[in-house]
Structure 1
């Protein structure tokens, strides 16, 4: 029986280690306020930490998230992300917050993914069509129409989107399970990379004519 316990212990340890490394590290102190000056702190997970004795309430504070943002752009939305760069006190805590403003009649937070965070979305104003798509091979769409007071969850890494289907502006707030969740907007990444991806490769992948791919790359601003 002892010979079984040893390998099992290693398996459990490996599993615990892999789960622990999938998310932001848990803090081992009250807080670790991020600071950009290396002479005034110690380096922890991408940021230097301020001496706790020098921390102030402003390190944990942000104001103005109630102010509507400009949605006069190509996609008709504006995301205001509050991560560790805006609120230094978020460092090592593993959370962030975003306000999303949507223009009327189709303002969209286009398909994107957060490589380091799950997301929970709360609708404050408007009517949103939202959803996410699961990984291969099923690529199943999970979608809902949300109204004020509704909440929807997007699992980590899943491609997801939100579209305002009402005639009035919409506002939502999102909590994310990382101090720096990252974002990959699918169309921008694929058709707007620098340098551009060879259009013949994209034509095969998307089953499009090469001239269509080149037009899309031109729209997203890539240059040879």
Structure 2
């Protein structure tokens, strides 16, 4: 019997224990290096509030909190937030929340949406709604950082087929581009059951984001191309890191 996901792939895959097994070895050192560079560049004050938007299991929220800031992490995955709440304290909070809805009106000085945690929705309208809702949570003069893959480079270097064994589970992974999405399918068996999941991320390019930003209260002030905050180059950069101001 095959176990299938629901229509919105992220609502089941991110809550699956297999998601956390497959990605358990993500590079925390690289992530902290990036966040450190952002903090040096943005220079938030100790009393200012930071929202970690799509925070997952809260590891980056915890790191931000350890740097002395008041941090809230939100994510759609209830399982991830339940895990993250073990780190909670007076200056670190976690909530289950869908970014398509306003979280708290004009509450935050900085909002960070990092590591390609955007573009999961099926339509441009939903992506714009999510951006507008995020802007509503920023104070006037606050800044939003969106870190997204450099889509052209990712597509050019896409690995079509891969097998990866983690904790005794053999994950069979395929990647491709279809109807404006970069799609990763994940198939595996465990305890006699066959599982199939799919990740779908919009193949958004710089010009797509620029059109989105026009629909919001946000003004683009800087674009970087990697975690060292070097200038963005469409052909060679690994990332698109947008800094926007309300």
Normalising by the smaller structure, the TM-score range is: under 0.3
Return the TM-score normalized by structure 1.
Answer: 0.28
Structure richer in strand, relative to its length: 2
**Larger Rg belongs to:** 1
TM-score (norm 2): 0.26
More helix by share: 2
